[in-house]
Amino acid sequence: MDFSNLKRVPERKNRIILAVSAVLLVLIVAFATLRDQAKSIDGKTAENLIENSLVTDAVIDGPYLYFKSGGVEYRVPKDAVDLRKVYEETAVSIKEPNPYLADIFTILILALLAAYLLRLARKNREAREQQISEQIQFANELQKPADIRPIISNISFKDVAGIDEVKEELEEIIDFLRYPGKYADFGIRMPRGVLLVGPPGVGKTLIAKAVAGEAGVPFFYQSGASFVQIYVGMGAKRVRELFKRAKAMAPAIVFIDEIDAVGKARGGMRNDEREATLNQLLTEMDGFEESSGVIVIAATNKIEMLDDALLRPGRFDRRVFVSMPNKEERKSILKIYLANKPHYVDLDTLAEMTVGFSGAALSSLVNEAAIHALKRGKKIIEIDDFTAVKDKVLLGKRKILTYSDEEKKIQATYQAAKAVTAHWLGIEFSKIGLLSDHFHRAEKEIVSKTEMLNLVKVHLAGDTMMQLAFGEHFTNAARDLQEARVLAQEMVERYGMGERFHADAADVEKILESARLDVEGFLGRMEEAVQRLSEAILEREIVTKEDVGALLRDLF
């Protein structure tokens, strides 16, 4: 509940009361001022007008005698004239209205004003009482335990296709949850947290559920956004309750989806509630006993935004990267989604036309194709149904890469040049394909200038190959060029690896230009290797470091 609006109710009421009071006061003053517009004259002038029979419409009103003469209204104190002479000298009837009529009218206005003010005051008091009541209710809610319930997952790894490498990473976690005593007896401390990193739609939540299903343990699901409450303390309380319930039902899995919502790096724009919640999460993870049987699995697609404290040893020790599925993985995923649907579709063809589709996008594609076939009165789903709805599935997506044949050729050549250069220069990577690469910066405290320069060359290799093979630059080089520039700037500005002790922008450009010339000469001699590797990437969409090594050994 948000009480911020309720807190402003009394202020709005007071402003209304002041405004209405001011309006009524102005009306009263205006009435008192405007009701008497007669011109004041002295008694002698009034008697002269009366004696000359120039007076009409004479009226005695309170202490004054009002009359008209020549179209002008005059006023004279009635005690200043001889009223008997008025009666004798004029034939005008003299009316004597109630002298208290104006006062009665004024009193009536004041009474109405008082009644209105009392009514507003009563409503103001009722609003304050309601505010206090709701605040008391909110305080009581803080004392109640959060309604956090686990689920028992019926999903296993056989229900999740295209994640063979991820399964291998998580097998140990599953075994630990099944047989924690085995690891405790051997003195092994399993990681408290596992961080699933990957783009949206690749199935991170499904993977966590599969882990819980395989291990047969309760699964507590929470989104990072659910911890970010309006009131300071509520998010931290929810974290405490979550881990309290998980420990009570151990062994168990706590899954936090989109953990970046609560685990963003601290600093900059301060948010007390988010920081309190993050601190509580860190405290709970530090408070795990090694035999608690609770493992935290979190998912994010923005690992670079996470606070360093979350990533330090002892918290999310293990990180599992879930990438977009390649061709073979897409075939496995499509096979599962099409299992209960009548179809006549070649999976190789369908996998070929869905480059860049995540698991979630493939699910939507199969469903839309089925709807399309049903609308057309078909009994089975065919490839043309997928072709018809492919663009519809992609519509509205921020960016899912769908390459034409020409674009595939360009991208395969680009990636092949990077892979050959990386292997030759000793830059570690696991695999590389049309959509992604997995180059790793050296995880060492001390890194040489040569090692950093080699990584710069790898990032420049793709764009350099585009010049050699196609004679121009392409937009797919943007990210690598940016990475190369950042590395060169670090070399010069942070590590003093330029030609001058003092950081100079010219040294950054010199590093980049020198690296480009070296790569250009190297790739000029390796064009056959790049060509053959690009063909392999076009065929399989992804190649491993071992594949690249075998190819180079065959050629040289």
Q: Which residue has the higher pLDDT, 33 or 243?
A: 243
- Is 426 in the same domain as 542? yes
pLDDT average, residue stretch 106-121: 77
- Is 331 in the same domain as 191? no
pLDDT at 7: 44
pLDDT at 554: 85
pLDDT at 169 over 50: yes
User: What's the pLDDT band for 270 if we cut at 50, 70, 90?
Assistant: low
Contact 519, 461 (CB under 8 A): yes
284-298, 426-440, 492-506: least confidently modelled range: 284-298
CA-based radius of gyration for the chain:
42
- Is 360 in the same domain as 471? no
Domain stop point among 144, 164, 185 = 144
**Model confidence pLDDT, tens digit, residues 320-372:** 888 888 888 888 888 888 888 898 888 888 888 887 788 888 888 889 888 98
* β-pairing verdict for 64-69 and 56-61: antiparallel
**Model confidence pLDDT, tens digit, residues 380-389:** 988 888 887 8
- Is 246 in the same domain as 269? yes
**Model confidence pLDDT, tens digit, residues 53-65:** 677 777 776 677 7
Contact 354, 362 (CB under 8 A): yes
- Is 35 in the same domain as 161? no
Contact 4, 131 (CB under 8 A): no
pLDDT at 400: 43
Rounded Cα gap, residues 44 and 77, in angstroms: 11
pLDDT at 289: 57
Evaluate whether residue 361 is within a structural domain.
yes
pLDDT at 5 over 50: no
pLDDT at 405: 84
- What's the domain count of the chain? 4
pLDDT at 40: 80
User: What's the pLDDT band for 410 if we cut at 50, 70, 90?
Assistant: very high
Evaluate whether residue 32 is within a structural domain.
yes
- Is 207 in the same domain as 342? no
pLDDT average, residue stretch 18-22: 64
- Is 294 in the same domain as 277? yes
- Is 89 in the same domain as 17? yes
Evaluate whether residue 399 is within a structural domain.
no
pLDDT at 117 over 60: yes
**Residue range of the domain that includes 375:** 327-394
- Is 339 in the same domain as 416? no
Rounded-to-10 torsion of CA 69, 70, 75, 78: -10
Domain stop point among 144, 164, 196 = 144
Contact 280, 235 (CB under 8 A): yes
- Is 415 in the same domain as 389? no
pLDDT at 2 over 50: no
- Is 388 in the same domain as 411? no
Rounded-to-10 torsion of CA 303, 307, 313, 317: -30
- Is 373 in the same domain as 276? no
Greatest Cα-to-Cα distance within the chain, rounded to the nearest angstrom: 143
